């Protein structure tokens, strides 16, 4: 895999997680939260290995989403705080925009 280009498969996984995170905030499912958190963790580990300047913003957004979901799962923040962290700060929108801008 070229270090500067994300494969369609990885882009699709990230987009899926972004949209599922939006839905999660509406439904508030602990099991789905845990699944998304685990998938995000796997993806950011993968992206971190690439060490590409082009995908650094994506990696940072995924790490921020992971931190927010982990805090929610641990009971450190409420659903409302999670919504503020992810939706109102437009983390999901930023992630989608960055993915769309990568060739």
Print pLDDT tens along the chain (103 aa): 444 456 777 777 777 777 777 777 667 677 777 887 888 777 777 777 776 767 778 778 888 888 888 888 889 988 888 888 777 667 777 777 777 776 5
- Domain ranges (residues) in the chain: 8-101
pLDDT at res. 76: 92
- Helix 8-27 to helix 30-50 angle (10° resolution) is 150
Q: Is the pTM of this model over 0.75?
A: no
What number of other Cβ atoms are within 10 A of residue 29's Cβ? 12
User: In this predicted structure, what is the pLDDT of residue 26?
Assistant: 67
Residues 6+ apart with CB under 8 A from 16: none
């Amino acid at each position: 895999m070229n270090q500067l280009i994300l494969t369609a498969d990885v882009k699709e996984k990230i987009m899926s997680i972004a949209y599922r995170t939006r839905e999660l905030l509406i439904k508030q499912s602990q099991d789905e939260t845990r699944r998304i958190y685990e998938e995000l963790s796997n993806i950011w580990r993968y992206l971190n290995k690439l060490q590409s300047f082009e995908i650094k913003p994506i990696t940072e957004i995924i790490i921020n989403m992971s931190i927010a979901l982990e805090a929610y799962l641990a009971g450190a923040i409420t659903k409302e705080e999670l919504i503020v962290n992810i939706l109102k700060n437009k983390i999901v929108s930023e992630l989608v925009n960055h993915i769309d801008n990568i060739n």
